[in-house]
Amino acid sequence: MGELEIKFEERTAPREKGSNSCLQAPPRPVVSVIVPTYKEVENLPFLIGRLRDLRRDNGMDLEVLIMDDDSRDGTREYIASLGEDWVRLFTRTTDRGLSRAVCDGLKRAEGDVIVVMDADLSHPPEAIPALVQALEAGHDFALGSRYVAGGSTHEGWGVFRWLNSKIATLLAKPFSNVKDPMSGFFALLRSTYERAAGGLNPVGYKIGLELMVKCRCRRVKEIPFHFCERQSGESKLSLAEQARYIKHIRRLFIHKYGTWSHLAQFLVVGGLGTVINLATLSLLLGLSVGVKESIGLAIAISMGFNFVLNRRFTFDYARSGSILKQLFGYVGACSLGALCNYIISSELMVAFPALYPQLAVLAGIAAGVGLNFIVSLFAVFKPAVNDTTSPAERSAI
């Protein structure tokens, strides 16, 4: 197990001359708790009260950063009325959003350990010591989890929210094998945060998964907790936030897998294009259009469909290029792929007469798709000449 990289601040009194150093209490880490808020003023008194009890009962050296997205609901006045120097308010008027607020808090936090939690009391402050202890034991990341033994959710959570959480968790499987990667309750060392590769660029509301991936966290400890229903206010989760989560997952996929992620997207688009081709062909034949004409139109429509999706998603870093030039290049690449497909299939049938024609065609298709991808990546949708950023890095922006 690697050495724990916490730079503790010395909080104990100077030792008296001749005192026994073995009796001196070890220094404790300074813990920064980041709480992103938007119209949560009704919950803040309860949250800060429980954090105050935590400081007193556990002797924690704890600061709280309220990262408020300009709520104008009395949050500013309430924090000012506290007169507590360990509670700091930062009112954010630009670049607002939950993940952005957390990123801003990460930059401003002064503690050795950083904890992120919601303001709606769904995350119990009393679990913070367990998160900190997991880091002290050598873990890179401590995650409050609803889905490990001892964890649970509120009985009134509902089937829709449960299903939404499970689907989101499934989408996160390529990045982490933890049971609750969607948790917004977590802790990490400052030194872990500072090694974030490529910088943080989250979309939507799930910053924890981004930190685990970009900080290269290998040893993640899940701490069970009971996820409570919010006490006041309304949930910020919406369909728009869920759509942004899909975009976030795609960015992380590109960040972690680079060119392989482009190939995966290219294959998905190709599969959708095949469905469009077959559907168009069936429709035209049903309308009594000639077979040759139907095949030609189906190919043209599916090729156009694939071009649009590949330009918009697979190779989105190249959207600033000439669309007509890229279209002609893409058609040319597909023609080369089709020729490659034909040659490979034909040669395999000659070389291996006993081979099933379907297998020969599948091999030809694989070769054709591979050629299409290579030409598209390096010729059709290549970055600008003066852009030295890799395609994977550009797509992740």
CB 24 within 8 A of CB 15: yes
Q: Is the pLDDT at 88 greater than 90, yes or no? A: yes
CB 249 within 8 A of CB 181: no
**Banded model confidence at residue 14, pLDDT cuts 50, 70, 90:** very low
Domain that holds residue 118: 26-257
For residues 303-309, average pLDDT? 87
* pLDDT value of residue 204: 58
* pLDDT value of residue 251: 73
Q: Are residues 295 and 251 in the same domain?
A: no
Q: Are residues 196 and 282 in the same domain?
A: no
Among 201, 223, 257, the domain boundary falls at 257
Place of tokens 């008194």: 45
Domain assignment present for residue 12? The answer is: no
* CB-count exposure of residue 238 (10 Å: 0-12, 13-18, 19+): exposed
Task: Tell me the C-alpha to C-alpha distance, in Å, between residue 358 and each of 342, 364, 385.
Answer: 13, 10, 42
Number of domains present in the structure of the chain: 2
Q: Are residues 170 and 99 in the same domain?
A: yes
Q: Are residues 115 and 153 in the same domain?
A: yes
Q: Are residues 175 and 31 in the same domain?
A: yes
Q: Is the pLDDT at 199 greater than 60, yes or no? A: yes
Q: What is the mean pLDDT of the chain?
A: 80
CB 180 within 8 A of CB 143: yes
Domain assignment present for residue 174? The answer is: yes
Q: Are residues 113 and 161 in the same domain?
A: yes
Q: How far apart (Å, rounded) are the C-alpha atoms in residues 393 and 199?
A: 11
Among 221, 242, 257, the domain boundary falls at 257
Q: Are residues 104 and 232 in the same domain?
A: yes
- Domain with residue 211: its CATH number is 3.90.550.10
List strands edge to edge, sheet with 220-224: 87-91, 61-68, 30-37, 113-116, 186-189, 141-145, 220-224
